[in-house]
Each structure stands twice: as C-alpha cells, then as structure tokens.
Amino acid sequence: MSSDRRVVVTGLGAITPVGNDVNSYWDALVAGRSGAGPITGFDASAFDCRIAAEVKGFEPASGFKNPKDARRADRYTQLAVAAAKQAVADAALADPTGLDLDRIGVMIGSGIGGLITLETQHSIYLEKGPGRLSPFLIPMLISNIASGIVGMEHGFRGPNLAVVTACATSAQCIGEGWRIIRDGDADVIVAGGSEAAICPMGIGGFAAMRAVSFRNDDPQAASRPWDKGRDGFLMGEGAGMVVIETLEHAKKRGAKIYCELAGYGLSADAYHLSAPDPEGAGAAKAMASALKRAAVNLDEVGYINAHGTSTPLGDICETLAIKRVFGERAKGVAVSSSKSMIGHLLGAAGAVEAIACVKTIETGVIHPTINLADPDPQCDLDYVPNVARQARVDVALSNSFGFGGHNSCLVLKRI
C-alpha cells in the first residue's frame, strides 16, 4: 500500500428522508427534525410495522441524462444516480475536460438492491406468466447496477465495484475506494451506497425479525437510540455519495477540499446472523484499526457518528465497543446518531452518516440524538441529547455495522 498517497473528500451528495440535497439534510439534522411518518408508498394497514422514513418529493429522472433511462432503473438506482450527480457536481468533475477518465472509479453498493423490482415483477410472473416479465428485470434487480450506471452516466472508466455487506455496505465502499486510491489504481473514486426497501417484502421481512420499531402511533419518536424505551430501528431510504481523491490530484485541479479520509478499519464478529457480538469486540477492533491506520491518537477524536440503530442489543454493544477503545476517555467524546432522525438507511447509512461527519468538521456543529428522554443505564456516554452542540471537531469517526457481523469504521480528519 502506498501510504504516502493521502486521500481527501472533495464532493458530497445526499438524498434522504429529511432533504434531497446535502445542505437540506444537514440543516434538518442540526435542527433535530425527524423524517419519520406513516408509510405512504403502499398500503401498510395490515402490517405490524406501518411507519418508516421515506424520501419525499424525489424526481426519479433527476440524475439521468436521458429521462427514459430512469424508467429502466429500480428506485434504489434512481436515488444513487441522483446523489452521485450532486457529488460529482460538488467536486467540479461534471465537465470531463482535462480529466483522465480511466483514473476515476465508482464504488456504490446496496445492502438489498432492487427489492421493489423483484416484488413487482414476481407479482407479474404469478398473474401473467414468465412471458410478461420485463427484459430489464435482472439489470434492475442486481446490487451492482447502480455503480455501473453512475460510471456510464459520467464516463468514468476506472475501477468499478459494489460492496454488499448489509448495513456496512456504503462505509465499506468508501473504505475500499480509499484503499484502491492508496494502492495507486485510481486517482478519484465516487463512493457510497443507496437503498430503497420500504415495500411490503422489506417492511414485512424486518418486522418478522422483530428488528423494527412498532411505535406506529408516534412515528417521529420511534427511532430513539440509547433510550430505555427503544424497541427497534426505523426503516429509512435514500442515498449518500462522496467523491474522494488523492490530495495531490485535488490540489492540482484546484478542488475544494472538505477534509481528509485518514483511516479505515474493518472486522467480523463471526458470532450471529443479525445480533452483534455482546461484548462489542468486533466493532472495537474496527475502530481501533481505523485509528491506527489514520495515525490518530485517542485524545484527538472529538466526535463519533455512531451506528446507533435504536435496537435493544445494538446500542448497548456499540457503547461497550466505544469504551473498549477509548477507556476512561469514552465519556468525554461526543457521540450521536443520525438514525434518530432519518431512520436506518441500511446499505446507504454509512455514506450518509460519513457526510454528517464531514459537515461536523466543516461547520463546528455536532448534530443531536433526538428522542433521548430516558437513557438506558447501560448506555452512559455523551450522546448529545436532543439539542445540537457547537464544538470544534478535528477528527471524527463514522461507525457502520451490518447483519452477518460486518464491522467498519471511517476516520475523517481536518486538513
């Protein structure tokens, strides 16, 4: 690995339940505004869970050069293409003049992929037979297609991959993009993730696992990380994208530099299909590895954007993991959960939350964890309850942990 190749963030893009661009998203987080509500995308009246954090007012064709192509894409791809277009424009890469497109790659994943397409096309198959299936069924369904289409839309011919690690997906897309750049195989990567699984199979499946909140009478209070009354996560949807590139490349082209992507760590719990390691050992290993790679001391870390799902086990295990890494200093580090407002974006969560870390470093504001009214005694860190906080943050961590025991951590650093 070419450790002398420093990697920086030069572009951001987001489609979220609280705003369809980065500034709207960030303003909502700082204000503590929830994007939760009753599900509107389908009739959920027969479901145990009838609430989610849906993207609102989204134009499916907004990211495509040819609007016809949007009709041949699943909603998760539509969200990805729109967020990527924002990030590419923010990084001043939309004009290919003078760019080596063979050195610009794309890494975009989805935890579930085209579930809406699968559900819709399966109904057509049952009702009308195989001859009526769409010829675009498979391309719309597969989890790598968003990455491929973003490459096609912008002509980026560098490495193009899609990591699929459940809720760690987009964080690992960013982290593996960092690794590819450091290895010298690309100069620029558009990285992130997208998810659109608020549909009968998605909601029904997670409800069957008892993973989601059933607080149907009060959706905006349903996602309540570290609160004693939490009963599961709130499903969200959306997409988050970052443009990362070498510091040298960014300076050469005069790009705006938000911060440095200084480190990346990952591990596996090797414990359970969906439950985290009860001692938080795997999550701690990912954080410690990321900090080591970033050459950052514990006392430099000012903020952790936690995985913070609002699940009974997950919140306790992440708290234990932070204590394992930071020891006595753990209670002196600000920790908050974006999911308290936007819900759990599954494969898109890591990227959207990494963007929150970037904005924290840029603005000097730490967004709150809302709905934290009665803290769980086993969750005793500084979770920035309910109100945003002014604070200079030079180093921020972004945690993402996925079903299957996939753990990842990104380190963002002021430059």
307 is catalytic: yes
* Short-list 247, 266, 268, 271, CA closest to 257: 247
Number of residues that make up the chain: 415
If you write DSSP's letter for every residue of 97-155 in order, what string do you get? TT--GGGEEEEEE-SS-SHHHHHHHHHHHHHH-GGGS-TTHHHHHSTTHHHHHHHHHHT
How far from each other are the two terminal CA atoms of the chain, in whole angstroms?
21
298 three-state secondary structure: helix
If you write DSSP's letter for every residue of 398-413 in order, what string do you get? EEEEETTTEEEEEEEE
Cα distances from 245 to residues 10, 25, 155, 259, in angstroms, run 7, 24, 17, 11
Tell whether the model's pLDDT for residue 4 goes beyond 90: no
State pLDDT tens for residues 38-63: 999 999 999 999 999 999 999 999 99
Alpha-carbon distance of 16 to 52, in angstroms, equals 12
Catalytic residue among 154, 249, 344, 406: 344
| The two three-digit tokens of residue 307, written as one number | 């995985």
Mark 108-123 as b/e (b = at least 16 C-beta within 10 Å): bbbbbbbbbbbebbee
Alpha-carbon distance of 75 to 52, in angstroms, equals 16
344 is catalytic: yes
Catalytic residue among 154, 249, 307, 406: 307
* Short-list 336, 319, 313, CA closest to 393: 336
How high does pLDDT run on average in the chain?
Answer: 97
- Residue 335 · residue 322 · CB < 8 Å: yes
Ranges of H-type helices in 311-374: 312-326, 339-342, 349-363
Alpha-carbon distance of 269 to 368, in angstroms, equals 28
Tell whether the model's pLDDT for residue 267 goes beyond 80: yes
Q: What is the largest CA-CA distance in the chain?
A: 64
- 48 residue type, one letter: D
State pLDDT tens for residues 304-330: 999 999 999 999 999 999 999 999 999
Residue-range domain boundaries for the chain: 8-252, 263-413
Place of tokens 């699943």: 74
In the CATH scheme, what is the code of domain 8-252? 3.40.47.10
How far does Cα 210 stand from its chain's mean position? Answer: 22
Tell whether the model's pLDDT for residue 7 goes beyond 60: yes
In the CATH scheme, what is the code of domain 263-413? 3.40.47.10
Tell whether the model's pLDDT for residue 175 goes beyond 70: yes
- Residue 218 · residue 50 · CB < 8 Å: no
Catalytic residue among 167, 259, 317, 357: 167
- Residue 335 · residue 382 · CB < 8 Å: yes
318 three-state secondary structure: helix
CA torsion sign for 355, 262, 315, 326 is negative
Which pLDDT does position 3 carry in this prediction? 61
State pLDDT tens for residues 367-392: 999 999 999 999 999 999 999 999 99
State pLDDT tens for residues 404-415: 999 999 999 999
